[in-house]
Amino acid sequence: MFVETSHLPQKLGNIVHSDPNISTTNINHDDADNNYNARHSSFSAYEANRLSGEGSPMMMSPWNQGSPFTKSPWSKFDDQDGNSQNIPQNGLIGSLVREEGHIYSLATKNDLLYTGSDSKNIRVWKNLKEFAAFKSNSGLVKAIIISGEKIFTGHQDGKVRVWKIQAKNPGTYKRAGTLPSFFDIFKASIKPSNYVEVKRNRTGLWIKHVDAISCLSMDQTHGLLYSASWDRTFKVWNVDNSKCIESVKAHDDAVNSVVTSVEGIVYTGSADGTVKVWQRENSGKNTKHVFVQTLLNQECAVTALAVNRSGSIVYCGSSDGVVNFWEREKQLSHGGVLKGHKLAILCLAAAGNLVLSGSADKTICVWRREKSVHTLLSVLTGHNGPVKCLAVEEDKESTGSDQKWVVYSGSLDKSVKVWSVSEKAPMMMQNNMHGDNVTWDSVPSAKY
């Protein structure tokens, strides 16, 4: 099979990235005794005792109790009678395993799932089976995003690679370019004004990332691709001509996440503990992103961001295992905290009225939002390693009365698991592995 070829570099000091070689002691070097324990935040408009809904004390919640199962309740579903009703509303559909590296990135579109790992291969899956694959020149595919017929992948070497599906053979992918292109680098290198300070006593071209790309986000309406990097910047690319049109020095530490929202709003989250809001402004042919405000300023690292489709809610996951959220209709006032994980949040995804959080504790929490109240529907268990990435697409069997989603979760256990999740699911977990029903009462999300 394949050999794992790359490992993340050791970072100096107290730098925290969203995907370290996960252990329970290396998220905060100066706080190893806490091992991701929640810390109080220090940002304005934060109320330490506020709850998102009425909830029981955290120690009474099911995820703080020992599991009654010797194996995961989602390990396997045998549907010998062909009766799909045997599958619980929120449960495992299948697993995709290819022993070639930890799964760091996922993207899905039109029944195709793209997986990136710390091997050099991007694999394409269809109907839970491998459909195609293509290889990059750099290992560790940290981000994947799809726009039309193009697939963009962000890599450890700081480059974005562009791939196109071959029209005559949908199972064949060809590399269509690299951002920035060799020609653009050569052209920019001629002008001294194109060099900026990238590290202490070191300069580099502003169009190039000088450290790993951590995240990609796409503004489909305006054809803009955003890349965030450990080099503390995010860059903006014109998808049509593959040009870098802006580079923003956004944070004092690694940028772990960037997400675009409606009306030109962009959110960035960093290992420096902040979440910042940026507004895109267009002046003629020029595009510029202006800093608006800081939503969060805390001691522990921000590791993941997500925005729902309407842009009304922005979610932030941190290395302390907490999810904060803000409400745009209320001038981005702080809405609450979702506490369902014991270790760092590594990924977030929003779909419909749901938000999903994946964690270093190997679980995925499924939350349902009703106005400002979030309720924990399920804790999906089954991964043997930290859950590093999530992707969601609408289930074809979804109806207006029962909105269903197919959720893909990638893990550092080298597997991808596929889940069926319903917004109408009861607030419980079921174990149908042996035909018996064991239910755990869920509690609304606690906030502190």
Taking Cα atoms as reference points, which of 325, 384, 392, 387 lies closest to residue 358?
Answer: 387
pLDDT score at 425: 79
306 inside domain: no
* Class of residue 84 by CB neighbours under 10 A (exposed 0-12, middle 13-18, buried 19+): exposed
Q: Please state the domain count of the chain.
A: 1
User: Per-residue pLDDT for the chain (448 aa), expressed as one digit of tens each?
Assistant: 333 333 333 333 333 444 433 333 333 333 333 333 333 333 323 333 333 433 323 333 333 333 333 233 333 333 333 444 544 468 899 999 887 889 999 999 988 999 999 888 999 999 999 999 999 888 789 999 999 889 999 999 999 999 998 888 878 899 999 999 999 999 999 999 999 988 777 889 999 999 999 999 999 999 999 999 999 999 999 999 999 999 999 999 999 999 999 999 999 999 999 999 999 998 777 889 999 999 999 999 999 999 999 999 999 999 999 999 999 999 999 999 999 999 999 999 999 999 999 999 999 999 999 988 999 999 999 999 999 999 999 998 877 778 899 999 999 999 999 999 998 877 744 332 222 222 222 322 222 1
User: Which pLDDT does position 89 carry in this prediction?
Assistant: 67
Angle made by CA atoms 364, 352, 238, in degrees to the nearest 5 = 95
Residue 416 lies in a domain: yes
145 in a domain, yes or no? no
Q: CA angle 185-191-197, nearest 5°?
A: 80
Write the CB contacts of 241 (distance below 8 Å, at least 6 apart in sequence): none
Q: CA 387 to CA 104: how far, in whole Å?
A: 9
Classify residue 387: in a domain, yes or no. Answer: yes
In a domain, 222, yes or no: no
Is residue 210 assigned to a domain? no
Partner residues linked to 307 by β-bridges: 314
Judge whether 8 lies within some domain: no
- pLDDT digits over 88-100, tens only? 468 899 999 887 8
Within a domain: 326 = no
* Structural domain for 373, as ranges: 313-318+342-428
